[in-house]
């Protein structure tokens, strides 16, 4: 019996991710002698063509597909293509897409479904299929009777001894290609989570936490070093360790390998001794589950966490020279405009920690998902999943207030850089754009060459760099290199400007709308549009133009100042003040370089803005010193 295991593309992240779940299944099947071929569809630009080619070449008797909910449409298409190619093929579906919402099983139209952990059940299932035996006695399955009725077998216990599972089939799913592209790999050293946060789903055991032994973990790491030459690794378990001792022992064992590593740690475990040990053993970043700074929201989320614990852990992490990574997520059922500001006020005052801001996601299988279904907020579960789990309002806020809160979150996340002091900058040579920055953390000057080829941060159109001395992050406060505008963009801008000067503002806006459809990466065009809408007293439209443009131009102080006016006129004084503070911070950070003599060369957009909209910007002392 020939088995083909396929990893689908993944809609929400880089397609070079390694499909560790199905790779575990492949490893155990191969260990027991099954004829298994693997195919990583995520690595294919024409994934359908590559999938069909593999089907035709391997002619499998069984197709196994697994993935998470964001891959739903790809999985459905793969199952359809497989049956069209070979109606007699047995299709087996697993992964979080099924375990989190078993109602997708008849819609995806697989023959057999595997719920929960897939290794041992897949081993039993493939043995039964190969021998032509009945599968109804195998726990953890869904299957269809000849008439189409879906049957669920008895529930299956989670695997108690994780060390009995072989390490993932790294060769089978082209790990080397993934690692070469990403430069890191996220492995897991434990499964499940003992906690019950309302927004989180765990196919590997909610309320139950199981560890691999550190001997197993180190064996896997050493295998990856030997086979693929890895130098960076992440241990991204839902909970890496509940006790400090396990992390301390891991630090001692990983230190001699000279790896850079990162992991997720519970805030309650953190102390200075632990962080110092992690730093010395090669740890670069500690991931924390932060979620909110509102006690009301944290209680609603069942986080078992207090804001002061967050403050303590983040400050300790920073003091020990480690980067922290975490998210504040907004939209819990208990969220209000006031609770959101509890979190945002703290975030604005503590941006050196680089906490991300975003919305809460209502993923299938979570408590909030089931609540949304029960309340009729989600009326059609399959449609909700097919539409990629769109935004739902779980709060008691009216929709307009809820969306306004989210837009506030998004623009702050995108627009608020944490800048270094810019000492020198050069764009004279288009093939070598350079900057010398004074790190806001360790105060050391650092030189960065060839910024023109360094990708900008994907969430903020700015260069986010690591300081080579202290390894903490900061942003370069000037857009280097400045964007090159397409001729049609410049033509539309000049046309809109001419119409505005003649007093034909609605016609000017028509031209600007065409420009915005092409690009929002023209801050002066955004300022012009905001100015026109403010003059027309269309304050919501003025605010929206500014918000959308700031993601593309967060390093433009004059755009921040224009946004501040728009938000103030719209009645959002707190946001207006935040933008004014940020504009002042950027001007201070660029003060040594962006002088009247150099502005036209370094930032032609700002030079253009000064010519068209001369302003006397008010800056504020916001407590960031470069001395």
Q: 163-212: per-residue pLDDT in tens?
A: 999 999 999 999 999 999 999 999 999 998 888 999 999 877 776 789 99
Task: Give me the pLDDT at residue 460, please.
Answer: 86
Q: 307-339: per-residue pLDDT in tens?
A: 999 999 999 999 999 999 999 999 999 999 999
Give the angle 296-297-301 at the CA atoms, nearest 5°: 125
With beta carbons less than 8 A apart as the criterion, state whether 467 and 439 touch: yes
Look-up of token digits 């719209």: 570
Task: Give me the pLDDT at residue 620, please.
Answer: 35
- CATH no. for residue 139? 3.40.50.280
β-partners of residue 445 are: 438
- Pair 208, 267 in one domain: yes
Which token pair is 69?
A: 């909910």
What is the pLDDT averaged over residues 443-461?
90
Structural domain contains residue 618: no
Which token pair is 94?
A: 């697993």
Structural domain contains residue 571: yes
What is the pLDDT averaged over residues 12-32?
89
Q: For 255-306, where are the alpha helices, taking DSSP H only?
A: 272-280, 295-300
Number of alpha carbons in the 13 Å side-chain half-sphere of residue 232 = 11
Q: 50-88: per-residue pLDDT in tens?
A: 999 999 999 999 999 999 999 999 999 999 999 999 999
Q: For 86-142, where are the alpha helices, taking DSSP H only?
A: 96-99, 105-108, 119-131
- Pair 252, 333 in one domain: yes
Structural domain contains residue 481: no
More confident of the two residues 12 and 380: 380
What is the pLDDT averaged over residues 536-542?
96
Share of the chain above pLDDT 70, in %: 97
Structural domain contains residue 180: yes
Q: 551-578: per-residue pLDDT in tens?
A: 999 999 999 999 999 999 999 999 999 9
Task: Give me the pLDDT at residue 480, please.
Answer: 80
Structural domain contains residue 160: no
- CATH no. for residue 499? 1.25.40.10
Task: Give me the pLDDT at residue 146, please.
Answer: 85
- Pair 287, 406 in one domain: yes
Task: Give me the pLDDT at residue 481, please.
Answer: 77
- Pair 379, 491 in one domain: no
Task: Give me the pLDDT at residue 627, please.
Answer: 33
Q: 231-268: per-residue pLDDT in tens?
A: 999 998 988 888 899 999 999 999 999 999 999 999 98
Structural domain contains residue 482: no
- Pair 272, 130 in one domain: no
- Pair 507, 573 in one domain: yes
The closest alpha carbon to 564, from 588, 596, 522, 534, belongs to 534
- Pair 192, 307 in one domain: yes
Which token pair is 395?
A: 């709060």
With beta carbons less than 8 A apart as the criterion, state whether 87 and 115 touch: no
- Pair 199, 326 in one domain: yes
Structural domain contains residue 601: yes
Residue 76 neighbours by CB distance under 10 Å:
20
What is the pLDDT averaged over residues 113-122?
96
Q: 572-583: per-residue pLDDT in tens?
A: 999 999 999 999
Task: Give me the pLDDT at residue 315, please.
Answer: 97
DSSP classification of residue 461: S
Give kind and range of the element (H or E) at residue 512: helix 505-518
pLDDT at residue 623 greater than cutoff 60 = no
In angstroms, rounded to a whole number, what is the distance separating the alpha carbons of residues 558 and 527?
8
What is the pLDDT averaged over residues 3-16?
83
DSSP labels, 126-153: HHHHHHT---TTSSSEEEE-TTS-EEE-
Max CA pair span of the chain: 83
What is the pLDDT averaged over residues 280-287?
96
In angstroms, rounded to a whole number, what is the distance separating the alpha carbons of residues 439 and 452?
20
pLDDT at residue 617 greater than cutoff 60 = no
Structural domain contains residue 97: yes
- Pair 92, 187 in one domain: no
For residue 604, what are the domain limits?
487-612
The closest alpha carbon to 561, from 595, 587, 596, belongs to 587
Task: Give me the pLDDT at residue 232, please.
Answer: 97
The closest alpha carbon to 23, from 206, 171, 124, 242, belongs to 171
What is the pLDDT averaged over residues 493-519?
96
DSSP labels, 248-274: HHHHHHHGGGT-EEEEE--GGG--HHH
Last residue of a domain, one of 448, 475, 502: 475
- Pair 404, 517 in one domain: no
pLDDT at residue 619 greater than cutoff 70 = no
Q: 469-505: per-residue pLDDT in tens?
A: 999 999 999 888 777 889 999 999 999 999 999 999 9
With beta carbons less than 8 A apart as the criterion, state whether 64 and 25 touch: yes
Which token pair is 374?
A: 């029960």
Last residue of a domain, one of 429, 454, 475: 475
Q: 355-378: per-residue pLDDT in tens?
A: 999 999 999 999 999 999 999 999
Residue 30 neighbours by CB distance under 10 Å:
18
More confident of the two residues 114 and 610: 114
- Pair 331, 406 in one domain: yes
Last residue of a domain, one of 364, 386, 415: 415
- What mean pLDDT, rounded, does the chain reach? 93
Task: Give me the pLDDT at residue 242, please.
Answer: 81
- Pair 127, 239 in one domain: no
Number of domains in the chain: 4
């Amino acid at each position: 019996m020939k088995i083909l295991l396929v990893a689908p593309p993944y809609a929400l992240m880089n397609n070079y991710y390694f499909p560790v779940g199905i790779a575990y299944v492949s490893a155990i099947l191969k260990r027991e002698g099954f004829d298994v071929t693997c195919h990583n569809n995520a690595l294919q630009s024409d994934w359908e063509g590559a999938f069909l080619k593999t089907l035709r070449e391997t002619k499998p008797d069984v197709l196994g597909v697994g993935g998470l909910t964001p891959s739903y449409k790809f999985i459905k298409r793969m199952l359809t293509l497989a049956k069209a190619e070979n109606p007699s093929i047995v299709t087996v579906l697993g992964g979080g897409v099924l375990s989190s919402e078993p109602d997708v099983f008849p819609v995806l139209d697989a023959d057999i479904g595997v719920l929960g952990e897939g290794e041992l059940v897949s081993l039993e299932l493939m043995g039964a299929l190969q021998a032509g035996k009945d599968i109804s006695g195998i726990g953890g399955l869904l299957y269809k009777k000849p008439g189409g009725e879906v049957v669920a077998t008895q529930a299956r216990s989670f695997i108690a001894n994780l060390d009995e599972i072989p390490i993932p089939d790294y060769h089978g799913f082209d790990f080397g290609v993934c690692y070469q592209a990403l430069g890191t790999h996220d492995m897991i050293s434990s499964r499940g989570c003992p906690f019950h946060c309302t927004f989180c789903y765990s196919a590997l055991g909610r309320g139950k936490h199981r560890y691999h032994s550190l001997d197993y973990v180190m064996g896997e790491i050493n295998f990856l070093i030997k086979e693929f030459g890895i130098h960076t690794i992440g241990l991204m378990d839902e909970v890496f360790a509940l006790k400090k001792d396990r992390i301390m022992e891991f630090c001692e064992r990983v230190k001699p390998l000279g790896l850079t590593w990162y992991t997720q740690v519970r805030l309650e475990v953190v102390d200075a001794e632990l962080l110092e040990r992690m730093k010395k053993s090669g740890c670069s970043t500690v991931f924390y589950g932060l979620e909110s700074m509102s006690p009301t929201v944290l209680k609603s989320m069942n986080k078992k966490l207090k804001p002061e614990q967050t403050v303590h852990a983040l400050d300790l992490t920073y003091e020990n020279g480690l980067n922290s990574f975490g998210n504040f997520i907004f939209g819990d059922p208990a969220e209000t405009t006031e609770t959101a500001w509890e979190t945002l006020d703290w975030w604005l005052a503590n941006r050196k920690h680089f906490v991300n801001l975003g919305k809460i996601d209502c993923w299938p299988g979570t408590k909030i998902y089931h609540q949304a279904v029960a309340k009729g907020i989600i009326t059609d579960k399959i449609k909700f999943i097919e539409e990629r789990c769109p935004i739902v309002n779980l709060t008691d806020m009216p929709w307009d207030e809820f969306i306004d809160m989210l837009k506030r979150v998004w623009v702050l996340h995108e627009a608020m850089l944490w800048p270094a002091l810019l000492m020198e900058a050069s764009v004279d040579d288009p093939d070598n754009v350079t900057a010398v920055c004074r790190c806001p953390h360790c105060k050391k000057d650092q030189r960065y060459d060839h910024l023109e080829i360094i990708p900008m941060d994907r969430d903020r159109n700015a260069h986010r760099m690591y300081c080579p001395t202290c390894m903490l992050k900061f942003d370069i406060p000037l857009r280097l290199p400045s964007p090159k505008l397409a001729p049609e963009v410049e033509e539309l801008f000049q046309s809109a400007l001419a119409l505005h000067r003649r007093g034909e503002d609605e016609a000017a806006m028509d031209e600007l709308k065409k420009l915005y459809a092409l690009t929002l990466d023209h801050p002066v065009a955004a300022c012009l549009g905001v100015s026109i809408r403010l003059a027309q007293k269309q304050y919501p439209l003025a605010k929206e133009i500014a918000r959308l443009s700031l993601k593309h131009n967060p390093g433009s102080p004059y755009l921040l100042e224009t946004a501040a006016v728009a938000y103030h006129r719209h009645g959002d004084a707190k946001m207006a003040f935040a933008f004014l503070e940020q504009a002042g911070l950027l001007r201070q950070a660029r003060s040594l370089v962006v002088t009247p003599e150099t502005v036209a060369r370094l930032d032609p957009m700002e030079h253009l803005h000064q010519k068209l909209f001369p302003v006397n910007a008010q800056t504020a002392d916001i407590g960031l010193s470069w001395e």
